[in-house]
Amino acid sequence: MRRLLVLVLLPMLLCGVARAASPAAAEVAEFSRQAMARHCVPTGPGLAVLVARGDELLFRGACGLADVASGAPLTPDHVFRVASVTKQFTAAGVLKLVDEGRLSLDDPLSKYLPAFPDAGGITVGMLLNHTAGVRNAAIMPAADAGTQGMVDAIGNAGVDFPPGQGYRYSNAGYVLAGAVIERVTGMAWDAYLHQAFFAPLGMTRTRGGHDVGVGDRTGEVTGHVIQQGAWSHARQMDMRLPHAAGALVSTLDDLWAWNRALHAGTVLSAQSHGAMATPRGKAADGNYGYGIAVGTLRGSRVFRHNGGISGASAYLAYLPEHDLTVAVLSNADALQPEVVRNGYLANLLAAHAIGKPYPSRDAIHVDPESLRQYEGVYRTDAATARVLRVVEGRLTSQRIPGGQPVALEPVARDAFALEAAFSRMVFERDAAGAVVAMQFLSDDEAQPERIERSDEPLPSVRQEVRVPVEALQRIAGEYVYRSMTLVVSVDDGTPRVRFNNQQQPIELVPQSPSLFSLKVVDATLEFTPDGDIARKAILRMGPAVNEYVRREQ
């Protein structure tokens, strides 16, 4: 009886899956134009979007501004920083060398970087699928941001796990992969990619990037960040730091040409392409092959990669069954990051283009008191759960440990959609009408996960202490622990911390003038001494305690 409503609701919520015929090009173009416009602020940084079926262009457009300061409009021809989408090109570069017999994925890293610590246990393939265990901490000393300086600092940072024994996304692993390319070819990693791919494929505007900012000599679109509640130009960045993990720039058209060539077999052998798109071993935990994340979208296989860096966000997807390319680029790293970097807009457009659109999510009104009946801890297993609570009149969901609260939009009785995402929750009631469980539909796919509501009380909410901006200024600055850094900023009166070359800063919640919790991570930062310019920042995360020391200017 208690599942009756769920059985009635699920077919209604999934009704969009039934449509199979791909819509006409004009229909895709109009849908894409409207969807892009809904997520664009005309007076802010913009979006550039491309949808193509095979060699047929379905939609190509842009909205917003290329430079907020000057008011110059963004166009689909602009050159964007593509951040971690770079990894796809780096992985393909390594695999091309494999095809040419110049290296093997099973080669130990010691063959190319003999001085790297414990390199004999790391294989080249492990670098490409994030199973090498090298720590994702690749901020280098300012005096040497060249490849060797990067390699040395990564080696000094330690490891997260023994090679091959785990999976953790690692920019550092791709810096090492770039170093391998350089050692094998005798060329800079991006120069090799130009020779191997960009020039032969006519990708004339794809290249290694230089500094982010205004008047950049490469002609790239201006990057933007939020500072003091307003858009400003992204800070200058030495683009040798992201290296082969994230330093390329490109355009919509070049990314389309790349998808067509890579997945049509023009770039790599069938064996190497198959390996690139096949997660194996521990990498299967992240559904990650070699430079390609593998998943499903409305029942169809999808190859994708996202990217985010100071001043830019990117997303590139390819659906092989439909020969469909979707690319979304932005000249901001804080423009609704879930819309670009997390793939919301790209997935929305792809689903419509293959004739399996996501169902309508028109919100209905539910008063805050009625929302409280859904509050509780929904336990997945002993270690993880979803906490639902009403915050400022809206029901929110937070994965614990470490998740960020996400607003839920009511779309039917006992049914909610995650804001700027496709996942949904449909709640079950017992015979007395009490909420006892949820059916969680990840990405709105047809196989829901049933999660029971536990008897646990709601976890207490950390109480924020108000600290004057003048008092917060004492903690602003850069702190160093071994080869790792954290940068604390108080640009708009809100303290934030950015670790290493992390794409997005994390907001700090004051517990006292010296103690702060991290908003989206179960961790704290304590600054010492009290009442003076902070000289140390002590990071406590689980059992780990790391002491960062202020870097004097």
* Count of Cβ atoms closer than 10 Å to residue 321 Cβ: 10
Choice between 540 and 350, residue whose per-residue pLDDT is larger: 350
DSSP 61: E
Range of the domain at 320: 80-353
Q: What is the CATH number of the domain that holds 116?
A: 3.40.710.10
Note whether 483 and 457 are same-domain residues: no
pLDDT at 481: 82
b/e code 139-160 from CB counts within 10 Å (16+ = b): bbeeeebebebbbbbbbebebb
Across residues 209-216, what is the average pLDDT?
Answer: 51
Mean pLDDT score across all residues of the chain: 87
pLDDT of residue 141: 42
The predicted structure's pLDDT at residue 356: 94
pLDDT recorded at residue 21: 79
Q: Could you tell me if 107 and 335 are in contact, meaning their C-beta atoms sit under 8 angstroms apart?
A: no
Looking at the fold, whether 273 and 293 belong to one and the same domain comes out as yes
The number of distinct structural domains making up the chain is: 3
Give me the pLDDT at residue 16, please: 41
pLDDT over 80 at 97, yes or no: yes
- Taking only the tens place, the pLDDT of each residue in 153-200 is 889 888 889 999 999 899 999 999 999 999 999 999 999 999 999 999
Same domain, yes or no: 372 and 511: no
Looking at the structure, tell me whether residues 345 and 366 fall in a common domain. Answer: no
DSSP labels, 475-497? G-EEEEETTEEEEEE-TTS--EE
Could you say which of 432, 461, 490 is where a domain stops?
461
Last residue of one domain, picked from the residues 292, 322, 353: 353
pLDDT band for 347, please (50, 70, 90 cuts): very high
User: Which of 330, 353, 376 corresponds to the end of one domain?
Assistant: 353
- pLDDT tens-digit profile of 370-398? 999 999 999 988 878 899 999 889 999 98
Between 499 and 224, the more confident residue is 224
Look at residue 552 and tell me whether its pLDDT is greater than 80. no
* Domain contains 73: no
Are 349 and 364 in the same domain?
A: no
Using one digit for the tens of pLDDT, what is the confidence trace for 389-440? 998 899 999 887 666 678 899 999 999 998 777 889 999 999 999 999 999 9
332/377 same-domain check? no
Residue whose tokens read 């969807």: 35
